[in-house]
Amino acid sequence: MKSFFLRKIGIDLGTANTLVFVPGQGIVVNEPSVVAISLLENKVLAVGNEAKEMLGRTPDTIVAKQPLRDGAIADYRVTEAMIRYFLNKVSGRVRFFRPEVVISIPAGITSTERRAVIDAAMKAGAKAAYVVKEPILAAIGAGIPIHTAQGNMIINIGGGTSEIAIISLGGVVAAHSARVGGNRIDQAISDYIKRKYSLAIGDRTAEEIKVQIGSAMAQVKEDYMEVRGRDLMGGLPKTVNLSSNEVTEAIQDELREIINVIKQVLQETPPELASDIMDKGMVLSGGTAQLRHLDQLISKTINVPCYVADDAAFCVAKGTGIVLENLDVYKRTIMLAK
């Protein structure tokens, strides 16, 4: 996988996962955005999959951190270490060229946070770092023709944030971010099980429940899953049988929050573009877009068709790839460069 001659690398810097795209090779890395740090020596011990294995299982001297929280950089030094790790992973520690790097950033990011991402990439070994707003990359990756004079709506729901944007002529016309995504949905499932069954479960178990039986709408034919955790009353291990409709009930508030932001963006959309969206529908991307029946719930609530993009979880990463292959075109239009 390593190549000392890589000149261009795309990074989808997500709250939950980081994906690395290399032109001609596609997505070469898809690992959790987690860094394990030794508190005694204050140094990075592991990144990605290896660090995620440590989540919830570390001794007091080791802490597993997610450097991005709610789509923003919560820890600059750890983010830099993570970017360096991913660059080294795909291009080796010895490089003949310092690569040009395109990185996705949330639409609502501040200029200080944007500068922090660029600086982190430069320090990690990039020759030049460009940051592009996540909804634009998601739209490009989903195959939406962003440069046409028509309104296109993208709903990108990741681990930390939901980003909703109306794009026309290559730019964002109206956009809002909600700090709600897959992680908040996992937390809601965990809280519900704690309330209803007095059972404590870990983050990874909550995520498994969401993936296996999670649904945005109640079903007539329910799915069930055995959930193991620690009984809060007796402190001993316990198993409960959870239904998909219980999961639906648990995550209603989070889904309502996402739908309210979609409504807010539509209310700010110029009438001409709003009619385009009525015709073409809204496109769902991001890992959480794969929650069952989420597209149906959004269509039903807003009365506008809603579709899940192909390879929804990889739209942003694929977008970085398309931008990299046409760098000169995009440099002039959508990029924010150092």
144-174 pLDDT tens trace: 998 888 999 999 998 888 999 999 888 889 9
Exposure of 29 in the CB half-sphere (CA atoms within 13 A): 28
CATH number at residue 225: 3.90.640.10
Q: State whether 31 and 19 are in the same domain.
A: yes
Query: Reduced to 3 states, what is the DSSP secondary structure of residue 94?
Result: coil
Query: Comparing C-alpha atoms, which of 277, 74, 292, 70 is closest to residue 167?
Result: 277
pLDDT at 105: 84
The tally of domains found in the chain comes to 3
Residue 329 lies in a domain: yes
Residue 293 has pLDDT above 90, yes or no: yes
| pLDDT over threshold 50, residue 321 | yes
pLDDT above 80 for 308 = yes
Q: What are phi and psi of 279, to 5 degrees?
A: -75, -50
* Domain span holding position 235: 182-249
Please indicate, yes or no, whether residues 270 and 170 belong to a single structural domain of this protein.
yes
Residues 63 and 130 occupy one common structural domain: yes
Confidence of residue 21 (pLDDT cuts 50, 70, 90): very high
Residue 3 domain flag: no
Nearest in space to 125 (alpha carbons), one of 98, 91, 145: 98
Is 1 within the bounds of a domain? no
114 and 243 both lie in a single domain: no
Cα separation, 21 vs 99, whole angstroms: 12
- Is the pLDDT confidence value at 295 over 80? yes
Residues 28, 99 within the same domain: yes
Residue 2, domain member (yes or no) = no
Are 172 and 295 found together in one domain? yes
Please check whether residue 193 lies inside any domain of the structure.
Answer: yes
Q: Higher confidence at residue 172 or residue 299?
A: 299
Q: Examine the domain organization and report whether 187 and 83 are in the same domain.
A: no
Q: Are 38 and 87 part of one and the same domain? A: yes
Banded pLDDT at 113 (limits 50, 70, 90) = confident
Please report the DSSP string for 309-330 in residue order.
PTTGGGHHHHHHHHHHHTHHHH
User: What's 95's domain CATH number?
Assistant: 3.30.420.40
Query: According to the model, what pLDDT value does residue 5 have?
Result: 60
The pairing of beta strand 100-105 with beta strand 8-13: parallel
